[in-house]
Amino acid sequence: MYWSRTLSFFILFNVFMLGSGCDQDKPSTSGSPVAQDVKAPPVQEVKPSSITVHVKRAFSEAAVAVKLSLPASWKEGDHDDVARLLPKVQPDEFFYTQLQISEGSTSCEGTCDKTQILANIKLGYDAYKARLETPNLNSGDPKKDAYRAKLDVFEDNEESEGGLYKHVFAAKVTCPGKGDIPCSPQLGARCFYYQEGADYYLVASGKGPLAAENSAWPELVALCSSLTIVAPGNKN
């Protein structure tokens, strides 16, 4: 009888404790603030702005109007005859990243026609690429003349649309095993533009340090690719 009563009491006690919601292992949350998920505001993408710059023709008062998509982190620089664009913050304060746009050099008899201009562009492209690969060409020192820098090409693209011919070339130059041979690691770009019916072509020359490779440099190449000629500026 005694054990029966004791067991009954034990069962009733546990039922009471469970029903009362007592749980010593569960911490009390009364009075504690309820944490809420706070979402960060969305990042506003700043799109490039469309700008028009004027490139003065050589030996003439004529000017060529060109339009480009300027990244928000870039600005127009001071210039006279050459349009100059550069980042607001330079990746390397001792080696500026910049893009300059000027009239290309032509060699032809009389007024240059399309065939002659495109031939001049090809010569300019070949000469620029050779200069990057052979930084000491025709130095007079056989060892320096024979040295070849390493070119990693980012872009080498020709296209023609709406009467505008465009050739965009960009590469990284490194100098493996150069020893005492002069060679400067750098980023280089040369872009050529010819508008159907024009008596000239334009060249955009870009340069920058290797420090700009993953920041300002892709923007420079995109800027180079975005150029269109909106007012021909022929001399005649």
User: What is the per-residue pLDDT across 115-145, written as a single tens digit (0 to 9) for each?
Assistant: 999 999 999 999 999 999 999 988 888 999 9
User: Tokens 């269109």 belong to which residue?
Assistant: 228
**Closest CA relative to residue 154, chosen from 217, 99, 228, 91:** 217
3-state helix, strand, coil in the chain (%, to 5): 25, 30, 45
User: What pLDDT is stored for residue 112 in this prediction?
Assistant: 80
Interval 18-50: pLDDT, tens: 455 444 454 555 555 555 665 655 545 567 789
Reduce the DSSP state of residue 211 to 3 states and report it.
Answer: helix
Q: Of 105, 58, 66, whose CA–CA distance to 223 is shortest?
A: 66
Q: Indicate left, alpha or beta for 35 from its phi (over 0: left) and psi (-120 to 50: alpha).
A: beta
- CATH pick for 52-231 out of 1.10.1200.10, 3.30.70.1140, 3.40.50.1100, 3.40.1000.10: 3.40.1000.10
Measured CA to CA, the distance from residue 51 to residue 116 in angstroms comes to 30
The residue ranges of DSSP E strands in 109-209, in sequence order, are 150-161, 164-174, 186-195, 202-208
**Sheet-wide strand order for 228-231:** 49-56, 63-70, 228-231
SS3 category, 202? strand
Higher-pLDDT residue of 107 and 203 is 203
Of 102 and 4, the one with more pLDDT = 102
Provide the percentage of residues in the chain whose pLDDT is more than 70: 77
Please count the other Cβ atoms lying within 10 Å of the Cβ belonging to residue 132: 17
On average, the pLDDT of the chain sits at 83
Q: What's the pLDDT at 235?
A: 57
Q: Grade residue 233 by pLDDT with cuts at 50, 70 and 90.
A: low
pLDDT band at 75 (very low <50, low <70, confident <90, very high): very high
pLDDT of residue 188: 97
Specify whether the CB–CB gap between 147 and 178 falls below 8 A: yes
> Does the pLDDT at position 12 exceed 50?
no
pLDDT (mean) for 202-231? 94
pLDDT at 176: 94
Give the per-residue pLDDT at 232: 72
Q: What's the confidence (pLDDT) of residue 40?
A: 56
Dihedral of the alpha carbons of 69, 75, 80, 83, in degrees to the nearest 10: -30
DSSP state of 35: P
Q: Is-contact 125 205, C-beta < 8 A?
A: no
Strand partners for 187: 172, 208
Report pLDDT digits (tens) over 45-65.
Answer: 567 789 999 998 887 778 899
At residue 78, the pLDDT reads: 79
Looking only at Cα atoms, what is the longest distance across the chain? 129
Per-domain residue ranges for the chain? 52-231
Q: What is the average pLDDT across 149-165?
A: 95
